């Protein structure tokens, strides 16, 4: 095996965002672009030499070509073994599972998560550390710094590696193990959930479920577990075949992009339980018949009911949520007498808390929920958790949530996304909003009095690291909130996200329509931030 040293020059745009490096496919297809980033990983993650690397992705366009490049570079850098999902397929939580189970020195996950796929859409790559989680900022900063000083990269002179047949092979001295992408993950789920009770639920004639895999990576996982192992009828999993362009659809499990599932669930004779997952399998949407469960409520409900599930029967030690996520989980933590942490957006911020044993369940309002079983959010895990609850409690999704509201109160909550806003105009909006913060505390806005206005900063309680500028918060007396932040997951323009929350303890006022209940706060948000002035938008692109 010959090793080529290829001369290169740095790219200035390879700083990883919230979860890895994401760009349009055409950017990654530039000569040396992917190779430069991978070289920076090998330059900084020296334990990979002589170690084991997990490799796979969500099957989107350019996935297979990228895997070939990475395998050749891994061989050139002395990696002893690479574990690859069959056909290059690995969901993000399944990759984390493999890293942890086989105690590898890390993994490279190829995905742009919920972003669109195809030759004119998006691609992404991120390094996960040996704990199975996304690299923390310290590591991503080291990788970025290395990209800025590259003059060459190393790659083996091999044309093609077979990743379409299970088994092991050699690339020089490096072993390549092509594995069933579902097997180890499914075994982990069996250890956490009561498969017998869920199987019995599917065997009960009245119960029906629909799972939308959105032509993304979760299709094979959902088919194996829901249909083959739990006995759900064939066809329970819709759009199950992973496609490089996700069938031309946006693989984001929300009420807009999972329209077909929502329509099915809203019918008079619709299924009892509906769920969807995203491009790489780490997000989830939960639906009852004609009933949407917000991700914030989902986290709170799972935390309050964890004792019903075998893997969490001994109790949970703590809960962590991203700052924009509603405060519903905080009330559950207080009731249980456990810690609750508020972190910046990005699953990497949960890693230290999980590794230190301070939390068991984590969640983000952006349809991400997970636990200490892996170090990624996990869409199918959340679906199985809900299935287990349905099998134990013998109630509908709607009744479970409304019972939760009666006990803890309801947090009316919405997120408004203004997508593909001019980046400079979006930055101007945020900067001017930050400039206004010192004068807002104590001020009356509409019928609400501001109790705190700040730009959220987080000090990690485990390692003491500080992350600043994580989103503007305007908190009101009584528990209502406005949060503004720019998303770090898109590749075109900027996405301004507005989060609006109002706490309602009175059960007699739990049946209000969400947007109507929050309308006064939404109006305050538009006025205080000058959304129309800075973005030119009258209304958001997506409401969840």
What value does the mean pLDDT take over residues 166-175?
96
What value does the mean pLDDT take over residues 213-242?
97
Band of residue 488 on the pLDDT scale cut at 50, 70, 90:
low
Tell me: the pLDDT tens digits for 59-115?
999 999 999 999 999 999 999 999 999 999 999 999 999 999 999 999 999 999 999
Could you confirm whether 322 is annotated as catalytic? no
Q: Which secondary-structure segment (H or E) carries 140?
A: helix 137-147
pLDDT higher than threshold 60 for residue 490: no
Q: What is the reported pLDDT for 159?
A: 81
Band of residue 334 on the pLDDT scale cut at 50, 70, 90:
very high
pLDDT higher than threshold 70 for residue 492: no
Do residues 4 and 155 lie in contact, with contact meaning Cβ atoms separated by under 8 Å? yes
How many Å apart are CA 543 and CA 1, to the nearest integer?
54
Q: What is the reported pLDDT for 256?
A: 86
Q: How many CB atoms lie within 10 A of CB 429?
A: 23
How many Å apart are CA 188 and CA 183, to the nearest integer?
9
Do residues 341 and 319 lie in contact, with contact meaning Cβ atoms separated by under 8 Å? yes
Which listed residue (113, 298, 322, 480) is catalytic? 113
- Give the residue among 471, 466, 513 at the shortest CA–CA distance from 488: 471
User: Can you spell out the DSSP letters for 176-205?
Assistant: EEEE-TTHHHHHHHHHHS-HHHHHHHHHST
- Backbone φ and ψ of 398, nearest 5°: -60, -45
Answer left, alpha or beta for residue 320, where phi above 0 means left and psi between -120 and 50 means alpha.
beta
On average, the pLDDT of the chain sits at 95
Name, in order, each residue with C-beta under 8 angstroms of 287's C-beta and a sequence gap of 6 or more.
261, 262, 265, 273, 274, 275, 293, 397
How many Å apart are CA 500 and CA 515, to the nearest integer?
10
Query: What pTM, to 2 d.p., does this model score?
Result: 0.94
**Displacement of CA 505 from its chain's centroid (Å):** 30
Q: How many CB atoms lie within 10 A of CB 478?
A: 13
What value does the mean pLDDT take over residues 384-388?
98
Task: Report the share of the chain in percent with pLDDT over 90.
Answer: 92
């Amino acid at each position: 095996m010959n090793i080529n040293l290829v001369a290169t020059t740095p790219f200035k745009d390879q700083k990883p965002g919230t979860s890895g490096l994401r760009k349009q496919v055409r950017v990654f297809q530039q000569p040396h672009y992917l190779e430069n980033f991978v070289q920076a990983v090998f330059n900084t993650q020296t334990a990979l030499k002589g170690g084991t690397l997990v490799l796979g992705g969500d099957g989107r366009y350019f996935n297979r070509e990228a895997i070939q490049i990475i395998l050749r570079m891994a061989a050139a850098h002395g990696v002893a073994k690479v574990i690859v999902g069959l056909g290059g397929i690995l969901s993000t939580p399944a990759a984390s599972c493999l890293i942890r189970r086989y105690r590898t020195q890390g993994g490279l996950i190829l995905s742009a998560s919920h972003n669109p796929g195809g030759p004119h859409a998006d691609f992404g790559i991120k390094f996960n550390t040996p704990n199975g989680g996304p690299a923390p900022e310290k590591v991503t900063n080291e990788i970025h710094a290395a990209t800025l000083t590259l003059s060459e990269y190393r790659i083996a002179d091999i044309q093609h590696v077979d990743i379409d047949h299970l088994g092991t092979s050699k690339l020089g001295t490096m072993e390549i193990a092509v594995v069933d992408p579902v097997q180890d993950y499914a075994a982990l789920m069996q250890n956490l959930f009561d498969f017998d009770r869920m199987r019995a639920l599917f065997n009960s004639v009245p119960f029906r479920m629909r799972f939308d895999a959105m032509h993304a990576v979760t299709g094979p996982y959902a088919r194996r577990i829901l249909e083959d192992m739990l006995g759900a009828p064939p066809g329970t999993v819709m759009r199950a075949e992973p496609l490089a362009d996700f069938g031309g659809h946006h693989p984001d499990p929300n009420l807009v992009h999972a329209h077909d599932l929502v329509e099915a669930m809203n019918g008079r004779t619709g299924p009892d339980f509906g769920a969807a997952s995203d491009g790489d399998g780490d997000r989830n949407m939960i639906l009852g018949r004609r009933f949407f469960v917000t991700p914030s409520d989902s986290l709170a409900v799972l935390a309050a009911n964890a004792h019903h599930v075998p893997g969490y029967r001994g109790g949970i030690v703590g809960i962590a949520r991203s700052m924009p996520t509603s405060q519903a989980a905080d009330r559950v933590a207080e009731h249980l007498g456990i810690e609750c942490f508020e972190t910046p957006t990005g699953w990497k911020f949960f890693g230290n808390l999980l590794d230190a044993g301070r939390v068991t369940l984590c969640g983000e309002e952006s349809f991400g929920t997970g636990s200490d079983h892996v170090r990624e959010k996990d869409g199918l895990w959340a679906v199985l958790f809900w299935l287990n609850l349905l099998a134990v409690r013998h109630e509908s999704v709607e009744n479970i949530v409304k019972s939760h509201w009666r006990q803890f109160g309801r947090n009316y909550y919405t997120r408004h996304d203004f997508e593909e806003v001019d980046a400079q105009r979006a930055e101007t909006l945020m900067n001017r909003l930050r400039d206004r913060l010192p004068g807002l505390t104590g001020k009356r806005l509409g019928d609400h009095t501001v109790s705190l206005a700040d730009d959220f900063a987080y000090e990690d309680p485990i390692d003491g690291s500080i992350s600043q500028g994580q989103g503007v918060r305007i908190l009101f007396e009584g528990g209502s909130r406005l949060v503004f932040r720019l998303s770090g997951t898109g590749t075109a323009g900027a996405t301004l996200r507005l989060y609006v929350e109002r706490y309602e303890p009175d059960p007699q006022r739990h049946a209000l329509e969400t947007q109507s209940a929050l309308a006064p706060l939404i109006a305050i948000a538009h006025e205080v931030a000058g959304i129309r002035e800075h973005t030119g938008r009258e209304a958001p692109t997506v409401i969840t």
